[in-house]
Amino acid sequence: MTTRSLGRDITVLGDALEAPGVGFIPVNAFVLHAREPVVVDTGLGLPDRDFLRTLSEAVDPAEVRWIWLTHPDRDHTGGIFALLEAAPEARVVTTFLGAGEMTTERPLPMDRVYFLNPGQRLDVGDRTLTAFRPPLFDNPATVGFYDDRSRACFSSDCFGAPLPDGDLAAGGDAGAVGPEDLRAAQLFWASLDSPWVTVADREKFLATVRPVREMDPELVLSTHLPPAAGIGLIARMLDTVSLAPGLEPFVGPDQEALERMLAGFEPAGSARATA
């Protein structure tokens, strides 16, 4: 994991996960350095990740007051229980459905949960965070937010894009990706991560994109895309997302393809692998 400051207000905790045949998928968490510090998601749950150690490079965990869980998928919850222990005054911002989904693995302590629905607001001392449902999502508990002070839109999975380079995915800048490459990757991600959009009513879907345009953010922070700054880049990303209805749905490898891949795989320690 890497840390990267975006001015005084935001630190990106960057990571990436390689998906064979897809590319490197960015997996970001964030720290919003508000008067009441907010951690947005808590990274991957893989055994070689130490979310709390990386977070400590950006903020003293004991000072964290809010953990905004954009949704309870495992690439967003890896360090949540370690952080709850290290941040005894922090509360988890989620929805009724989000808290319920967490109980299928390990329940959240309900006295430390704060339910917030799209359209509602959270005062974190020096700014107000407005919750919204991003246009694209893969979990019905998804809630992002807009920070009226930094003018940053935290979009959860929306605007994600697999990238060909792990360093770019984990610690780069979305503006470094060529416009056509970014457009293709974001449309691919939309069909993969939000397959329901391929059969969505176009006009109804565009009505969910419009509020993000009206926010007019200067910064878009997606879990699965390097930070995207600048009105021009963000406008292009919104135009790309608007094309999602009617995409061909993603279809992954079938068993025959898996067997072909396994046939060409040499486990570590095999005679050919060590020759």
State pLDDT tens for residues 111-134. 999 999 999 999 999 999 999 999
DSSP string, 62-119: GG--EEE-S--STTT-TTHHHHHHH-TT-EEEE-HHHHHHHTTTS---GGGEEE--TT
Q: pLDDT above 70 covers what percent of the chain? A: 96
Q: What distance in Å separates the CA atoms of residue 171 and residue 68, rounded to the nearest whole number?
A: 21
Would you state the pLDDT for residue 269? 56
Residue 6 has pLDDT above 90, yes or no: yes
Consecutive H or E run containing 213: helix 202-215
Would you state the pLDDT for residue 237? 98
Instruction: Give the other-Cβ count within 10 Å of 54's Cβ.
Output: 19
Residues in the chain: 275
pTM of the full predicted structure? Answer: 0.93
Q: How many CA atoms lie within 13 A of 75 on its CB side?
A: 17
Residue 272 has pLDDT above 90, yes or no: no
What is the CATH number that goes with domain 2-261?
3.60.15.10
Helical pair 231-241 and 179-193, crossing angle rounded to 10 deg:
40
pLDDT band at 273 (very low <50, low <70, confident <90, very high): very low
**Sequence-distant (≥ 6) Cβ neighbours of residue 18 within 8 angstroms:** 24, 25, 166
Residue 108 has pLDDT above 60, yes or no: yes
Would you state the pLDDT for residue 261? 84
Q: Over range 48-57, report the average pLDDT.
A: 94
Residue 244 has pLDDT above 80, yes or no: yes
Q: What distance in Å separates the CA atoms of residue 88 and residue 109, rounded to the nearest whole number?
A: 12
Strand partners for 6: 10
Phi then psi for 270, rounded to 5 degrees?
A: -75, 165
Opening angle at CA 61, ends 114 and 7, nearest 5? 95
Would you state the pLDDT for residue 262? 87
Q: What distance in Å separates the CA atoms of residue 217 and residue 210, rounded to the nearest whole number?
A: 12
Residue 51 has pLDDT above 70, yes or no: yes
Residue 141 has pLDDT above 90, yes or no: yes
Provide the pairing of β-strand 144-147 with 128-132.
antiparallel
Would you state the pLDDT for residue 86? 98
Q: Over range 135-153, report the average pLDDT.
A: 97
Would you state the pLDDT for residue 267? 62
Instruction: Give yes or no for a contact between 144 and 155, defined as CB atoms under 8 angstroms apart.
Output: yes
Would you state the pLDDT for residue 274? 46
Strand, coil or helix: what is 12?
strand
Least reliable range by pLDDT among 6-10, 86-90, 153-157, 241-245: 6-10
One-letter amino acid of 161: A
pLDDT band at 20 (very low <50, low <70, confident <90, very high): confident
What rounded mean pLDDT belongs to the chain? 94
